[in-house]
A and B are shown apart, each in its own frame.
Chain A
């Protein structure tokens, strides 16, 4: 859209190596259900950067950007510059590695990490002009760009699971803009459901879905590509 071509306001030096990376980091953070309430909940985070990204990550501030996002800052906040120091003071273990993601976007990064109770990973790319593309979360392939409020739901792969989830959403008068459902593990009988919404869901809806029988886990990704900085 026009707006992300004429903006946004960001901390430099690179909209793809810095700003987009802050957004990917922030998306990863949202996968942890306990984190919004507790900044210190994250214990350990590892970043695997596609080779060319890795070779330049220090001079680009990519490391500061990813960590800044993971600890909850936005791409226009000056704290990004000192995010490594802030993470250290929060006691979060951080590590960077070089990796190779063939057949994916050149600016692809994999973020994995854990809190005391949860472990998640995310693969995504910063595609330029601060735009992002998330291509995989916890074994589920997808293609989302963070422009909608998004629900990531892990559920049992049983008949009627999807209809229960969709019904809960429609009861709240909400409209679904896009929906993907993939089976992620036939042995464990698990599937992941990705739902992009037109409206921002309330906490009430999130905990209602969380309590549904077939639902194992719910993460809420607010609009990541938020231009209102």
Chain B
């Protein structure tokens, strides 16, 4: 499915993009057109709950390499960023750290990239008082963005690298920001995910030891800041010269041409650095001694 087609249908029929996607879902799945909204609501409630749970207790990850990063941001007064962005970064990292310690999270779109969308959603709720229903509609839009990427490329780091995980999450998150701000700004709705995905094109999946911790947890925060940047640029009227659907195709091709060592095997990129190897050795010794 082309995202462009969904947008064109919304424009030509004068119908909200959310309705178009809900109907498309109904035709594809045979289920009720209300199902995506109900499901989205459930996912948003689960995101809120996971964040609350994480704030109560910061459990270290399976390796112990991460676990207290979000706290550092929570107790910090930003020098450059505004309060909203700092909060969004903190939520993103909280979710990613919760995930790394086998916490219950929403795989939106995957567990490794589970912080980006909640970072955006929770910051919209807190700073703009956006209702759960409106946020859920926006999440359905994001779902269509992610689904298009999944069809044309992949959302799996093992198949196409981190661009497919954090990249997809960031593209999805940028569309939420645009939709909430101006749901009929179709130019921006089509450009924001393209700008986001282009900026992460080629990002490799190089987790130390193969674990969803380093650099995955911190990359969730960067995804949030890129999502805000992409949405601001798109809303300012900056158009992606390369259309989103083609960017998604290109991302898939880049992913397929990446060597295996850069696709979640923990054998390339930062995972192959001397420090990474040392960290891994220490972890293996610790777990063998236990």
Contact = CB atoms under 8 A, between A and B. Distances in A.
A162 interface: no
B263 interface: yes
A16 B98 CA distance: 17
Contacts of B101: 12-13
B234 to A, nearest CB: 21
Interface residues of B, number: 60
Contacts, number: 161
Interface string A117-129: 0000000000111
Given A13-B62, A61-B62, A128 B110 contact: yes
Contacts of A128: 110, 154-159, 164
A10 B105 contact: yes
A19 interface: yes
A5 B143 contact: yes
Nearest to B45: A9
Interface in B156-199: 156-159, 164, 172
Contacts of A6: 39-40, 43, 106, 108-109, 117, 139-140, 142-143, 146
Interface stretch (A74-82, A150-158, A207-215): A74-82
A6 B42 CA distance: 10
B102 A80 contact: yes
Interface string B62-106: 110000000000000000000000000000000000111111111
Which secondary structure dominates chain B's binding surface?
helix
A221 B63 CA distance: 35
Interface of B: 21, 25, 28-29, 35-36, 39-40, 42-43, 46, 61-63, 98-112, 114, 117, 139-140, 142-144, 146-147, 150, 154-159, 164, 172, 209-213, 260, 263-267, 283, 287
Contacts of B213: 13, 59
Nearest to A5: B146
Given A5-B143, A6-B43, A11 B104 contact: yes
B267 to A, nearest CB: 8
Enumerate the 9 nearest inter-chain pairs by beta-carbon distance, A residue then B residue, closest first. A128-B156, A56-B210, A12-B99, A2-B143, A5-B146, A59-B211, A15-B107, A6-B143, A15-B111
Contacts of B157: 16, 128
B102 A3 contact: no
A58 B287 contact: yes
Contacts of B103: 11-12
A129 B155 contact: yes
Given A7-B106, A52-B264, A15 B112 contact: yes
B39 A3 contact: yes
Nearest to A125: B158
B107 A130 contact: yes
23 contacts: A2-B144, A3-B39, A5-B109, A5-B150, A5-B172, A6-B139, A6-B140, A9-B42, A9-B46, A11-B105, A12-B99, A13-B100, A13-B112, A13-B211, A15-B110, A15-B112, A52-B267, A55-B210, A58-B287, A61-B102, A106-B158, A129-B110, A129-B150
Contacts of B28: 1
B144 to A, nearest CB: 6
Nearest to A60: B211
Looking at B42, B158, B211, which has the most chain A CB atoms within 10 Å of its CB? B158
Nearest to A75: B107
B61 A1 contact: no
Given A2-B21, A5-B146, A55-B210, A12 B110 contact: no
A145 interface: no
Contacts of A127: 156, 159
